[in-house]
Chains A and B, each alone.
Chain A
Amino acid sequence: MKTIFFLLIPIFTFSQVKMPTTPQPTQFQHYGNQGLGNPNNINVVPNPMNILNGTDEIQKKQQLQNQQIIREVEQNEKQRIETLNQIKRDINEIDQTNYNLPSLANGKGTEYYRNVYDKMLTLNVENYSVKDVNFEIENAYLENAQDKLEFDKIIKNSGDFIIAKMKELKYDTESNVAKNYMLFQFFSENLNLKANGLKHTPFKYDFVDYMGQKDWSKMFVSKLLKTKTGQCHSMPLLYLILAEQIQAEAFLSFSPSHSFIKFKDKNGKWYNIELTNGMFTASSFMINSGYIKAEALQNHIYLQNLSKQELLSAFYVDLANGYIHKFGYDDFVEKIANKALELYPKNVNAQMIKANYSGVRFEFVAKQLGINPMDNKQLQTIKDNPNAIALLQQANEEGKKVEQLGFTFMPQEAYESWLGSLKEAKRKQENETLNLQFKATVKKTLKN
């Protein structure tokens, strides 16, 4: 027992000595707090053995080692805090970037557009009034300055005139073909009613600013009614409105930068009416513009008759375009475009609005990040910013969708020369033949 105790003595005595221990995390905190900026000013733990043995060489060395480790750890800690702060600063910077276009909802006049949009959502897509929708859209641009009653009256009078003229000419007022033919005449010929001497002059094409770049209302049906001149947007729409008024069946159809009217006879044969020139045209004329790709036709984006639902989609596009022209892009534009695409997924015009919107939004973000989006090198710098990358990818994808639908850009000069080519002798002859063919059909219906 004694021996055991004796043997244990060194252990007890050993335990008296305060040996330097490896630094513990809690200690780091301690030193860190005390000695920031002055690593030499470290409280050295007094060594009790010093009293007995004086300072040992080995102990000193160990202390030095300890101090070094502590210094290293401290430095690391400092770096860590610094990078953390840096990241925090970066995050703050990112948070200041706005990834959405600023809403224009507070702008004066936007509420008209939002009201019309909400109203349009309630429409029955299969059965709605073309006249009313179009009026609302134009009126939103004109800030409700238009008189609906007045407009309705003009349309009703025109419809009455057309029916009266049909009766005078002894057309079959029940026949869809005869109604369309009369509408065609209404757009392209001088007419007067013998019964009351009412006169009507044809509508003419307005070459000035026909794309509404300076004055958006140039494309409006109300402008067409007021001035008797219009373009390839307003004329087909007025045709549809009047067709609705006299209960004729006619369809809107698109070609590059253009729209026109289609209708079919009893045998299912389709006719194209080009209202800007008051002519019947063959599909080959449309195709020969040179800006219709086979893919566009395979995707049915051009030269197809729009269903009522697809037409509503086109009206949403009109709404969006008016809004963009007046106020610019914000998420409301995207909302409208999405609605249009929901109704008609291959609506190339709606897809273009969406692509433009995505592009504008990315440019907006790029500008905030101080990047020129057209410069490929500068674009590389966004690779650490996942939000910006996602937006760029979306912009590219939406643009690609437009291309995949078969869209090719038609320059304005090409459009003008193509439209002008209608007046060439050859086209005139084509028109004559079609017109004659058509008259024969009308007569046939008359006999029937």
Chain B
Amino acid sequence: MRKSIFTVLLILFSKFCATAQNQEKLFEQSYALLNNMLVDENSYSFKKAVFSVENAYLDDKLDTLNINKQLNFLTNLSNSLIKDRFLAYLEKDKPTVNKWASVYQIMCDTIPINYNDKIYQYSPFGYDFNDVFGHTTRENLFVSKLLETHKGNCHSLPYLYKILCEELGTTANLALAPNHVYIKHNSIKDGWYNTELTSGIFPIDAWVMASGYVHLDAISNGVYMKALNNRESIALVLIDLADNYNAKFPNNDGTFVLKCCETAIKEYPQFASALILKAETRFKQIKKIENETIFNQQFKELEKQYAHIHEIGYRNMPENMYLEWLISLKTERNKYENKKLNTFSKK
């Protein structure tokens, strides 16, 4: 009797180990995919990168067929918008700007759709004020969740925007602000301009600077407000992967997380989130060291890392301040809206 119970337990335990191992394998695979995109730029695809990370967290249960269907629908809708709509823009890069404008409309506008002589209302993607930072569940930050519910946040909205732009054969630059991601474009007429998807407004740079947590050095060093290239965008996704891993395996030894951080920092040396995650992970590891001299030595090293983070201009923005700032764009719209961009803002 005892023996049989023991064997059952053994089997259950090994089964458990196997699933855990499988889960870890998914993360490793995702890391390999992302890393490969950095090694071989031809394999780059922001869509693949984002969904491989989400799939790893969802235990390989991401419904890729459905996602592709939805993305196809949105891409087709963009294409028909490009065809049918008038855009008051005269410069040489009009085809590209037109693509951006159509993706923007899809993200932020209600669009009537004529299908079999019936008019349907396409409803845009809205902002979800619940769990903005993904504390309850990481899934709240996911693009797959956004596609499903049409509600997202400053993480999923710009990601989807970038994915759609790439589906249309153009590109979009992600840009960082404290706790925030937004979109930057460079057009011939307006130079660099910002697109803020959480409120559907084109804000001027002063809005980001006015958050109060953007140090001058952070801007000049490119910690914030820098138009990130595709490689640096992959660095962002790498840190998503590491964060998801931490959420999934809270008691991990930090090896995988540090690996992600190192690769991300190599691509984007001023990436504050990666530097912080690295320092925090190191701190967790160092705490376990019993030998005092080694502990002191490594702790000193860690202090240097934190000093560096401060030096490049990073300042921690409390989370409640974040929402206040985000809303300021709507309440003080007149002050922060880019009035030059009348080409495609609504009235």
Contacts and interface: CB of A to CB of B under 8 A. Distances in A.
Interface of A: 283-284, 287-290, 292-295, 297-298, 300, 303-304, 403, 406, 408
Contacts of A287: 206, 209-210, 216
Interface stretch (B11-19, B55-63, B120-128, B220-228): B220-228
B206 A290 contact: yes
Given A294-B226, A403-B191, A303 B208 contact: no
Given A293-B192, A295-B192, A283 B216 contact: yes
B219 interface: yes
A297 B212 CA distance: 16
B325 to A, nearest CB: 14
Contacts of A303: 216, 220
A210 B222 CA distance: 35
B219 A294 contact: yes
B27 to A, nearest CB: 34
In the complex, which of the residues B192, B208, B210 has the most CB atoms of chain A within 10 Å of its own CB atom? B192
Nearest to B208: A294
Contact of A297 (B175, B192, B210, B216): B216
26 contacts: A284-B212, A287-B206, A287-B209, A287-B210, A287-B216, A288-B206, A288-B209, A290-B204, A290-B206, A292-B205, A292-B209, A294-B175, A294-B192, A294-B208, A294-B225, A295-B192, A297-B216, A297-B225, A298-B219, A298-B222, A298-B225, A298-B226, A304-B220, A403-B191, A406-B192, A408-B191
B205 A293 contact: yes
Interface in B185-206: 191-192, 204-206
A300 B220 contact: yes
A214 B114 CA distance: 61
A290 B257 CA distance: 39
A264 to B, nearest CB: 14
Contacts of A288: 206, 209-210
A-B interface, 4 closest residue pairs, ranked by CB to CB distance from nearest: A294-B225, A297-B219, A287-B209, A290-B206
A284 B209 contact: yes
A10 to B, nearest CB: 78
Contacts of B175: 294
A269 to B, nearest CB: 13
A297 B191 contact: no
A284 B208 contact: no
B192 A298 contact: no
A298 B209 CA distance: 13
Q: Could you tell me the dominant secondary structure of chain B's interface residues?
A: mixed
Nearest to B193: A293
A418 B76 CA distance: 46
A243 B41 CA distance: 53
Contacts of A294: 175, 192, 205, 208, 219, 224-226
Interface in B19-77: none
A406 B226 CA distance: 12
B196 to A, nearest CB: 14
Contacts of A304: 220
Contacts of B219: 294, 297-298
Nearest to A270: B216
A17 to B, nearest CB: 72
Contacts of A408: 191
Nearest to B175: A294
B319 to A, nearest CB: 21
A223 B191 CA distance: 39
A298 B313 CA distance: 13
A403 B222 CA distance: 18
A413 to B, nearest CB: 14
Contacts of B216: 283, 287, 297, 303
A336 to B, nearest CB: 27
Nearest to A299: B220
Contacts of A300: 220
A186 B219 CA distance: 34
B132 to A, nearest CB: 23
A424 to B, nearest CB: 14
A298 B221 CA distance: 6
A290 B224 CA distance: 17
B214 to A, nearest CB: 8
B37 to A, nearest CB: 25
A293 B224 CA distance: 12
A297 B219 CA distance: 6
A298 B205 CA distance: 13
A284 B204 CA distance: 15
Nearest to B220: A297
Nearest to B219: A297
Contacts of A298: 219-222, 225-226
B207 to A, nearest CB: 9
Nearest to B340: A408
In the complex, which of the residues B209, B221, B226 has the most CB atoms of chain A within 10 Å of its own CB atom? B209
Contacts of B209: 284, 287-288, 292
Contacts of A406: 192
Given A283-B216, A294-B219, A294-B225, 18 more contacts: A284-B210, A284-B212, A287-B216, A288-B210, A289-B206, A290-B204, A293-B191, A294-B175, A294-B205, A297-B220, A298-B219, A298-B221, A298-B222, A300-B220, A303-B216, A303-B220, A304-B220, A406-B192
Nearest to A289: B206
B237 to A, nearest CB: 22
A406 B220 CA distance: 12
A172 B206 CA distance: 39
